[in-house]
Amino acid sequence: MKLTLIGNGIMAQSLAKGLVKNYEVEMIGRDIDKLRQVKEKIPEVSIKIIDDQEDITDKNILFCVKPYALQSVAVRLTGKANTLYSILAGTKLESLKKQISAKYYIRTMPNVAASVSMSMTTITGDNEAKMSALEIFNAIGKTVWVNTEKQLDIATAIAGCGPAYLAIIAEAIADGAVKAGLERHISTELVHGLFVGTSALLAKTHPAILKDSVMSPGGTTAAGVGAIEEGNVRNSMIKAIQAAYEKAEELGSK
């Protein structure tokens, strides 16, 4: 199957890197220099400048522009696509249906880990395209199908934005180690190993049980947990998810 990505930014490239292993991938953008740079990085991708009247008839489109660019790109698309897979944060199915013609509509929320075939992707939309959507996004990581756009917007806050949140935590832990006197390269290597190991444990252990198993009475972890609670980290993460979800809703209401 051929997939056509519209947009050539961070996410389009992340998706393309994984998808080229299983699909023929075409990338359509508006800047030939940027497209050529993508072609250098991912030679399997075919590149194309967007036409004023870009015919998308029967194509399977992965729509990868920013939400605010939807209208300006949509007016250039003609014909009826087979399936439109949108990755736009917040943008509702209804809005996509009004602006781009397709037989089926799917909203997805992948993340940048698609570039290493480890995206956590949430999907919703037309049931007729459910199997194809799961197949495409399973090729670049894990998938969860949800039945409402509200669930997808909350998933956006977790798995779409989440790599940024975890990267902040990772950086802060490494900074803490450097502050305590450990070399930067050692700190960074330890943090990477920490995330890999903890991720494997979290796949089979409840977070609270994992935390309890590390935290001995009056011990080092307990001292650290005390500092984490003083810093309101837990509440900050809850608020971060709420804020990102509300922003997704706000984008969808425009």
- What are the residues binding ligand NDP (CB under 6 A)? 7-12, 29-31, 34, 50, 64-67, 69, 72-73, 87-89, 109-112, 160
Eight-class DSSP state of 158: I
Q: Which is nearer to ligand NDP, 42 or 178 (CB)?
A: 42
**Nearby residues of 177 by Cβ (< 8 Å), 6 or more positions away:** 186, 187, 190, 191
| 62: nearest Cα among 165, 136, 167 | 136
Was 219 annotated as part of a binding site? no
Was 8 annotated as part of a binding site? yes
Distance (Å, rounded) from C-alpha 188 to C-alpha 194?
10
DSSP structure string for 29-87: ES-HHHHHHHHHH-TTSEEEEPPTTEE-TT-EEEE-S-GGGHHHHHTTEES-EEEEEE-
Q: Which is nearer to ligand NDP, 7 or 125 (CB)?
A: 7
Least distance between ligand NDP and beta carbon 35 (Å): 9
87 binding partner (options ligand NDP, ligand A1CAB, none; Cβ < 5 to 8 Å by kind): ligand NDP
Least distance between ligand NDP and beta carbon 159 (Å): 8
Q: Residue with the closest Cβ to ligand NDP? A: 9
Binding site for ligand A1CAB (CB under 6 A): 89, 156, 160-161
Was 169 annotated as part of a binding site? no
Was 9 annotated as part of a binding site? yes
Q: Which is nearer to ligand NDP, 32 or 227 (CB)?
A: 32
Least distance between ligand A1CAB and beta carbon 11 (Å): 8
Q: Which is nearer to ligand NDP, 30 or 80 (CB)?
A: 30
Which tokens sit at 120? 């956590």
Least distance between ligand NDP and beta carbon 222 (Å): 35
Was 79 annotated as part of a binding site? no
176 binding partner (options ligand NDP, ligand A1CAB, none; Cβ < 5 to 8 Å by kind): none
| 87: nearest Cα among 103, 63, 56 | 63
Distance (Å, rounded) from C-alpha 196 to C-alpha 116?
14
Q: What are phi and psi of 147, to 5 degrees?
A: -100, -5
Please enumerate, by residue number, every residue annotated as part of a binding site: 6-11
